[in-house]
Chain A
Amino acid sequence: MRRPLGIEWMKIRNYRTFWILLGIIIASIPAFNYMIFSFTNNQFPKNKRGVSPLGNPFSFPDAWHTISWFSSLLFVLPAILVITLTTNEFTFKTHRQNIIDGWSRNKYISVKLVGVLFLAVICTIVVLLTVLGFGYLGNKGPVNVSIWEGSRFLFFYFVEVLSYSMIAFVMAVLIKRSGLAIGIFLIYMIVEQAVMGILTNIYHLQAAQYLPEETTDRLIPLPFIQISDPAGWEHRIPGYLIAAAIYLIIYCVLTSRYFLKSDL
């Protein structure tokens, strides 16, 4: 796999759009969080001891939760990068040429899947550095708390960003056109939220929380407010993770089988 990944690197290392999008992703995660930090720090009246009613959401241990949640809102950026890099191959027909030149279809799709995984890892590392940066620079939390307490939210973020990126990859492989794939990806995100709302609120169907987007969203609840049913949420975490894993397997199988069976 190292050699094919090296070839993938040759494809993108001189691609300006890749660097611009990656730069935006890397810069936007700390910048967006700083924006939220600045807003919450300045807009809410503090009590006599200088404590905000929100607590210290950007200090350890809450920083893991807060920053993972706000960073997950930027899911569209890695998704756009995945769609751009994948559909480029279809536009230039280089996917076809790679096979003609001697790659197996299996190798081609595998290296693309590993590429999506790498991107999710990069995003997670940026979130990790952002958490550590905020945590160390502005720590006002309890002094006797380990900085790694709450770090499972970073793993949840990884699962979420990988899941969103894989949905984008599925769109890119099936649709093949960049603009259309991004549009349908965004529409899907909105439609699933609407469907989830209808199923939950009107039909009281609890299974709706295990829809592809919702199941990873629920891994990281909204910060600042107390989780309404902490024990219930803790209890459901394994279910969310299993559902996310099943969806990831489905995405891999779907894209692989489609690419292996279709005419190029």
Chain B
Amino acid sequence: MDVLKATGGTYSWFGEPPSEKQRQKIGTLLETPNFYHYLSGERNLRIAAAIKGRGAGDIPRVLEMVKLTERKDSKFSTYSLGMKQRLAIAACMLGNPDVLVFDEPTNGLDPVGIAETRETIRLMAREGKTIVLASHLLDEVEKVCTHVAILQRGELLMAGDVREVLVNEDIVELGVSGGLEGRLQEALTSWPGIRQVKQQDGLMQVFFEAGITPDMGELNRFCFEKGIVLNHLQLRRRSLESKFMELTNEPTKTIKNN
């Protein structure tokens, strides 16, 4: 977006090197809404439309879309945080661009503003727009996005379907006594859907393939039939944050999902 001077690397829009002409065709909201405080919402949109090389005819539509028609003549400085953010989204929608870029679009918003913003983004996605959303809120990414890419210090760690990359994994913790850990680990290899087994803090942690929810009763019976009596059996939900930490702290150990 020519806001920061890149130290390296290249990128393209629509298969071409970036230029101001292409920026006119992209709706972009980078963190905070940037408008002239002394002008009304509508006058601010007129300036944005003029810079994008578009007429003012689209302004009523985008104002209606973000429910700001009634306050279009109020000064931007009188808007609430949520309204300011919605006005910024309206500016992005001017000219009905096919590609939108949102960087932390719910930053600083109250819960109502967050819900409104996310709903607006989902609405635009349903209209077939390509929306590039940068966020540190994994919960938001999971709720809003269809695909995700995780970057760390400019390196792409992972990319793919959001349901695969940021899946809420279930972990089963098993404990045995009497030096049976080896037998337990061996027995678990024949249990279907297990992706990884590792020992931590004297317990066996079992990771399952995406989408598989283990039946704890069956697992207990399975171990018992193998002659292993469990003294600890617990199903734990792993948070998205811990998954993200795992991805960003141990990039080489995680599965690559390209």
Contacts and interface: CB of A to CB of B under 8 A. Distances in A.
Chains A and B are bound partners = yes
Contacts, number: 76
Most buried by B among A14, A101, A264: A101
A98 B53 CA distance: 12
B39 interface: yes
Contacts of B50: 3, 6-7, 10
Given A93-B34, A100-B1, A263-B3, A10 B43 contact: yes
B240 interface: no
A131 B236 CA distance: 86
Contact of A105 (B2, B4, B28): B2
Q: What band does the interface of chain A fall in when counting residues whose beta carbon is under 8 Å from B?
A: 20 to 34
Counting chain B residues whose Cβ lies within 8 A of the other chain, the interface size class is 20 to 34
A49 interface: no
Interface string B1-31: 1111100000000000000110110001010
Given A10-B43, A261-B5, A263-B3, A92 B52 contact: no
Contacts of A105: 2
A102 interface: yes
Contact of B20 (A94, A104, A264): A104
Given A92-B37, A103-B20, A262 B5 contact: yes
Interface of A: 3, 6-7, 10-11, 14-17, 88, 92-94, 96-105, 107, 261-264
Given A97-B34, A98-B51, A99-B20, 13 more contacts: A10-B43, A11-B39, A11-B47, A14-B39, A15-B38, A92-B34, A96-B34, A99-B3, A100-B1, A101-B24, A105-B2, A261-B5, A264-B2
Given A92-B37, A94-B36, A263 B5 contact: yes
B72 interface: no
